Amino acid sequence: MTYLNHYNEEDKVLVAVDCIIFGFDEEGLKILFVKRGFEPEKGKWSLMGGFLKREENLAEAATRVLFSLTGLQDIYMEQLYSYSEIDRDPVTRTISVSYFALINKNKYDLKLNIKNEAQWFKFSEAPLPIFDHQQMIEKALIRLRRKALSTPLGFELLPEKFTMRQLKRLYESILNQKLDKRNFINKFNSLDILVKLEEKDKTSSKKGAFLYKFDEKKYQLKKEEGFNFKL
């Protein structure tokens, strides 16, 4: 504590994290909001947020916040951007760092229902959240789209076994455009990260559609390597 001359107590600020959680199911891309439990804006929808504590770094704070509000655990999150407008939080100066994650919605829904302050919304129909959260979400969506074209994606969002149709719909809902069935399948197969199973899924037709899963090793390798797709 000898060097504090350049370090001015008065400039200390509160730092928060806000988590943008994307999920996916039959209906398309979803986003998870919580009902804010305290004033101001109590009762309104909000990203999962909370304050950074002295004993943790930002990633730890994001993990803790997500867990405490939703019960979700072991979710890999990625830091996105820091928001620092002076009045962004009307109560006191707060800087917020956004994190985002993709999760397999079905896998986690049971846990989620216990704490029902959290709720999934179809991405296109989500209510306007508080503060600058809408801005955060827009940036996250741009990031998600970029990721979809440069790294394999789906392992975190789809059930373990999935059909080509689901995979294609996932990409369509992220990129917000229709994709050609044959081209999509050919393209995705060229990545060589899928394993075709014997099993068929019969929920959407009696003929059944073959199920696939990711070859996790190849998937991770491809993730590190990256690519440059047009879809």
Written as one string, the DSSP assignment of 133-144 is HHHHHHHHHHHH
Q: Which CB, 127 or 208, lies closer to DNA?
A: 208
What are 166-173's contacts with CB under 8 Å, separation 24+? 167/212, 169/28, 170/24, 170/29, 171/231, 173/24, 173/28, 173/29, 173/123
The site map against DNA for 190-229 (x = CB under 7 A) is ----------x---xxxxxxx-----------------xx
173 binds DNA (CB under 7 A): no
165 binds DNA (CB under 7 A): yes
Contact 49, 18 (CB under 8 A): yes
Out of 19, 33, 54, 200, point to the residue binding a copy of itself (CB under 8 A). 54
Question: Which of these ranges, 82-90, 107-115, 126-134, 178-186, lies near DNA under the rule CB under 7 A?
Answer: 178-186
Token digits of residue 225? 């390597």
> 């090793």: which residue's tokens?
217
Question: Which of these ranges, 22-30, 92-100, 125-133, 153-161, lies near a copy of itself under the rule CB under 8 A?
Answer: 92-100
Q: Which CB, 115 or 196, lies closer to a copy of itself?
A: 115
**Residues in CB range of 208: below 8 A, 6 or more apart:** 200, 201, 202
Q: Side chain identity at 60, as an amino acid letter?
A: E
Contact 148, 2 (CB under 8 A): no
Catalytic positions, written as ranges: 117
Interface contacts to a copy of itself, rule CB under 8 A: 1-8, 10-15, 38-40, 51-59, 79, 81-82, 84-86, 91-95, 97, 149, 228, 230
Interface contacts to DNA, rule CB under 7 A: 163-165, 180-183, 185-187, 200, 204-210, 228-231
